Amino acid sequence: MPAFGQAGMSGKGGGIMYDNLCKKIVKLMNLNRYLSKQEQRFVVEWKERLDMKDEIILEAVKRAVNYKKARASFPYINAVLENWAEKNVGSFTDIMKLDDEYRKKKEEKSSSENKNDAILAGTGVGKNYHSVQLNIAVERIRDTAKLPTRGSEYAAGYDLYADIDKEIDIEPHEVVKIGTGLKIAVPEGYFGAIFARSGLATKEQLAPANCVGVCDSDYRGEYIIALQNNGNVKRTVKPGERIAQLVIMPFLQVGFVEGKLDETVRGEGGFGSTGK
């Protein structure tokens, strides 16, 4: 069975064999475009690896749209279908059984829980959505490159390593670009945030020059860290040293509507307007 991002794309005219299904998904998600190649790979995964029927896939999409309100994300839909596959869901009857089980568990819980969680009936994702693994395609530019790693089981950031062939000195207040040797395809709807490593920043005064780097989902170049020495002594970066951390984060797509803003008590009070 193919792993995520490795499922083959096939069919006539260079498209995928599930074109009708893709069109239905586009309509349900109210997209003003066709699915991207990465989104099409999700569909191939659902059909070929999870062996899901079209109506089951569309039901997962509907539930995702209802829950997410604005624009459902493909990784979320994938999490729902992965859970259904694990529970051997093959029909609407199976989904209804999961719904009943979920409602019974819900009734046993405190009424103070978030009411929005009820929309997730039967998905099996709920509050554990963020614990579901999101597989991301990574390409090594050089054999010496190290894949991102986490320092602990619940760490949000994945450490990025310096892929260099010799030590690099960074003079005080100097900025040096250091490559990781990796290309990373962040899923649409997410971005890669590059943060400083706390130990490196506090002990060595080395941190990204732009404070937080933003790596968009359509970027396909090498991940390069612009490392700045904020101290007053020379620092040295060694090959294979951890130089930053990557956090994958979702974001909202917005539209800017020009017009007069509403009045607030604060008004135009800016820097220092609320005191120290």
Q: What is the model's pLDDT at position 222?
A: 97
Q: What is the model's pLDDT at position 13?
A: 33
Q: Within 10 Å of residue 85's Cβ, how many Cβ atoms?
A: 16
Instruction: Find, among 183, 175, 195, 180, the residue nearest to 239 by Cα.
Output: 180
Q: What is the model's pLDDT at position 110?
A: 52
Instruction: Go through 146-185 and write b for each residue having 16 or more CB atoms within 10 A of its CB, e for each that does not.
Output: bebeeeeeeeebbbbbbbbeeebebeeeeebebbbbbbbb
User: How far apart (Å, rounded) are the C-alpha atoms in residues 141 and 139?
Assistant: 6
Q: What is the model's pLDDT at position 86?
A: 86
Enter the pTM of the model. 0.55
- The helix (H) or strand (E) run that includes residue 24 is helix 19-28
What is the mean pLDDT, run by run of 10 residues, along the chain of 276 residues? 38 58 88 85 87 89 74 79 87 84 72 48 51 82 95 91 97 97 93 96 96 95 97 96 95 88 86 76
110-118 long-range Cβ contacts below 8 angstroms, 24+ apart: 116/67
Q: Which domains are present in the chain?
A: 12-131 (no CATH), 137-250 (2.70.40.10)
CB 161 within 8 A of CB 241: yes
Q: What is the model's pLDDT at position 132?
A: 58
User: How far apart (Å, rounded) are the C-alpha atoms in residues 143 and 126?
Assistant: 39
User: How far apart (Å, rounded) are the C-alpha atoms in residues 103 and 108?
Assistant: 9
User: How far apart (Å, rounded) are the C-alpha atoms in residues 85 and 77?
Assistant: 12
CB 229 within 8 A of CB 173: yes
Q: CA angle 57-63-67, nearest 5°?
A: 145
